[in-house]
Chains A and B, each alone.
Chain A
């Protein structure tokens, strides 16, 4: 029980909060649950193909191959592959975290995984047109250009700040996924 609470402390806390709201304001509690229920369907809809794809990736993509493409010595090629594959995906950040996990498990360089993750969060090509239509071309394009720099900055700063031990821990953790 104790380990379960430690493992799922966040869930317990939220359920507790919901319970308190239900006790004191049943109407808000009801609305909250309705919102959550609608979100569950949305999340499942988005996450199903993501998990099917990473399951297949886990089975079919050989570690050696992934290391060649995005691993420690993949250089510019790895960066370009990470950036482009991030830019063409337009799913929310939370749905990409499992993908990042599998990329790490297969031996991708940490900075490349971060480039992929950050690029798909902030510079998504499929959403560019939508952003232009609602916020205008100058806003969108300047944001696009600046974010491109930011993606690299974040990826390289984090890789510089991680010790070899940190990286080892990351890969060991990814292996247990």
Chain B
């Protein structure tokens, strides 16, 4: 569905670009130039992130990650899964089925909930990019708060679903 959404985004971009081009050619060219400038401005950070993710995936096999998330319980387990979630950049389309499988195999609900929340809202390795756009203070505060709230929501989910 993420991919479908991206196709939809391509369609939107194409439509907007066409409208823009019909209305004002030079302005459209300017917008593309600006897009390119912004893109190349952020590219080094993205390349670094990609190299890091590649390295992490190569060093830690999926089985290792799975074992770490699956076996731990209690607060230590939550801490571990939340840290994995905060650091890694796993697409949710891959993460959700893994989480579902782990839940079936006896992984704790709160551990999985905190993992999903931390995965989607905290981005430790993308923090250089976030600082560039939002400033240091906002980026760090946002990630710290999102991390803390991951625990609160996971705890509440445990209460509600048990």
Q: Which residues of A pack against B, CB within 8 Å?
A: 7-8, 10-11, 13-15, 17-18, 21, 28-29, 31-37, 39-40, 43, 45-56, 58-60, 89-94, 97-98, 100-101, 104, 110, 113-114, 117-118, 121-122, 126-127, 129-131, 134-135, 138-139, 142-143, 146-147, 150, 153-154, 157-158, 161-162, 166, 169-170, 173-174, 177
Beyond A60-B20, A135-B103: 18 further Cβ-contacts under 8 Å?
A: A11-B48, A31-B58, A49-B10, A51-B36, A55-B31, A55-B35, A58-B35, A60-B31, A94-B89, A94-B129, A101-B133, A122-B120, A122-B121, A126-B5, A142-B156, A150-B149, A150-B152, A157-B141
* B48 adjacent to A14 (CB under 8 Å): yes
Residue B76 at the A interface, CB < 8 A?
A: no
Residues in A with CB closer than 8 Å to B59 are: 21, 28, 32
A8 to chain B, nearest CB (A): 5
Tell me the count of chain B residues lying within 8 A, CB to CB, of chain A.
76
Q: Given A49-B6, A54-B35, are A143 and B157 also a contact pair (CB < 8 Å)?
A: yes
* B145 adjacent to A154 (CB under 8 Å): yes
Bound Cα distance from A58 to B33, whole angstroms: 11
* B145 adjacent to A157 (CB under 8 Å): yes
Number of A-B contacts (CB under 8 A): 236
Nearest to B32 among chain A residues (CB) is A55
Residues in B with CB closer than 8 Å to A143 are: 113, 116-117, 153, 157
A144 to chain B, nearest CB (A): 10
What are 12 A-B interface contacts by the 8 Å CB criterion?
A: A15-B48, A32-B51, A32-B59, A53-B13, A55-B32, A59-B20, A94-B49, A94-B89, A135-B99, A147-B153, A166-B138, A170-B135
